[in-house]
Amino acid sequence: MILVTGGAGFIGSNFVLDWLAQGDEPVVNLDALTYAGNRANLASLQGDARHHFVHGDITDRALVDSLLAKHQPRAIVHFAAESHVDRSIHGPGAFVKTNVEGTFTLLEAARAYWSGLADKAAFRFLHVSTDEVYGTLGAQDAPFAEDHPYEPNSPYSASKAASDHLVRAWHHTYGLPVLTTNCSNNYGPYHFPEKLIPLMIVNALAGKPLPVYGDGRQIRDWLYVRDHCSGIRAVLAGGRLGQTYNIGGWNEMANIDIVHTVCALLDELQPSPEGPYARLITHVTDRPGHDRRYAIDARKIERELGWRPAETFATGIRKTVQWYLQHPDWVQQVQSGAYRDWVAANYSARA
Ligand code: NAD
Ligand code: TYD
């Protein structure tokens, strides 16, 4: 049994689906169902006894304590977070609450639970984090390795950096068996359409402008979400305690090139009678404090654990665009909020 937090979000739901496709070890999935959490992502697990969904908050210590006591997980895989940089600029408070206080609450609950375990060495607390904690790179700089200094620039990345530091300290001070992963930008199915790639797909299909911040030459290192999931599984299985592992796709691309790639795929797969989708590209005001370049040096996880991404960007982005074309109902539900009514009608939480 493992406890996953945030398993109704983009990466967490992909992880839970992937985990239960690879084996039969059950999952307790604790998620607060914020705007980003969507039980429709887990619809294929309805009635599956291996998946126990719990609607609740990671800042609720009593709830976390009771879940650990009841289910006795051998590991916690911690995805739950506020994750969108633009939202963190608009309202940073929720980021400090969930990402910092929530991680602190989980660590304290995990420590209390772990200290009572007969087999302490077998327990794992795996903290899922981001490359954004390292700040921004110049064009000629080497990609982020695990020993790169922490230089977070947004409220989001600062809150994730704080959580990474707490996780590190709980290992060094209390001996909690922790692992941390810092991953680059993910893309793939179930990605909430406020992030670059799904927003461009969804807006293009709706004939809406495709807002590119500033000059569009900012660089991100894109990884298909299921490759991130396999990286996390590899670290959970074989990572050295107290270590961090950077996970990335070796795929640096400028935003404007991402947008053109998405437009070209849509032109091929679902052409618009109005003409090429690139006609909708609109340069807008830049994001405040916009990091220029992220890139991950993923050699450590490859060297120590033999992990490499299975998808190229060409294969992953094609799968992603096809998934959005095949799931207009999901997009409509997520955008309208109607999925919450659908969830209420179709599911009930069980602790
Ligand atoms: P997401 O925003 O899609 O999902 C977050 C999930 O956490 C949602 O289901 C939400 O309901 C849940 N949640 C939020 N606050 C909660 C709380 N207080 N208690 C319980 N559940 C809560 O995020 P994502 O993109 O899936 O990211 C998951 C993790 O991976 C995050 O920790 C993020 O920092 C990290 N990460 C994301 C990326 C990326 O490209 N998306 C890259 C690297 C790392
Ligand atoms: P995003 O998906 O928000 O991820 P992050 O900021 O965590 O990297 O954004 C990816 C890049 O795309 C980032 O440089 C900001 C840019 N961007 C746009 O140009 N337009 C948009 O509408 C969005 C959401 C992002």
Dihedral in degrees, nearest 10, Cα atoms 58, 222, 211, 161: 40
Q: Is 141 assigned a catalytic role? A: no
Identify whether the C-beta of residue 309 lies closer than 8 Å to the C-beta of residue 246.
Answer: no
**Residue among 347, 338, 345, 351 at smallest CA distance from 39:** 347
Q: Is 48 assigned a catalytic role? A: no
Output the CA 220–ligand 2 centroid distance in Å. 9
Q: Is 131 assigned a catalytic role? A: yes
The CATH code belonging to domain 2-284+294-338 is: 3.40.50.720
Look at residue 113 and give its three-state secondary structure.
helix
Cβ count near 47 (within 10 Å): 6
d(CA 270, CA 263): 10
Determine whether the shortest distance from the Cβ of 12 to ligand 1 is under 6 A: yes
Output the CA 273–ligand 1 centroid distance in Å. 37
Determine whether the shortest distance from the Cβ of 11 to ligand 1 is under 6 A: yes
d(CA 98, CA 96): 6
Ligand nearest to the CA of 163: 1
Extended strands (E) in 92-242: 124-130, 178-183, 186-187, 210-213, 219-221, 223-224
| pTM, 2 dp | 0.96
Per-residue tens of pLDDT for the chain, all 351 residues = 999 999 999 999 999 999 999 999 999 999 999 999 999 999 999 999 999 999 999 999 999 999 999 999 999 999 999 999 999 999 999 999 999 999 999 999 999 999 999 999 999 999 999 999 999 999 999 999 999 999 999 999 999 999 999 999 999 999 999 999 999 999 999 999 999 999 999 999 999 999 999 999 999 999 999 999 999 999 999 999 999 999 998 999 999 999 999 999 999 999 999 999 999 999 999 999 999 999 999 999 999 999 999 999 999 999 999 999 999 999 998 887 665 565 556 544 444
* DSSP per position, 277-315: GGGGEEEEPPPTT---B--B--HHHHHHH----S--HHH
Output the CA 205–ligand 2 centroid distance in Å. 19
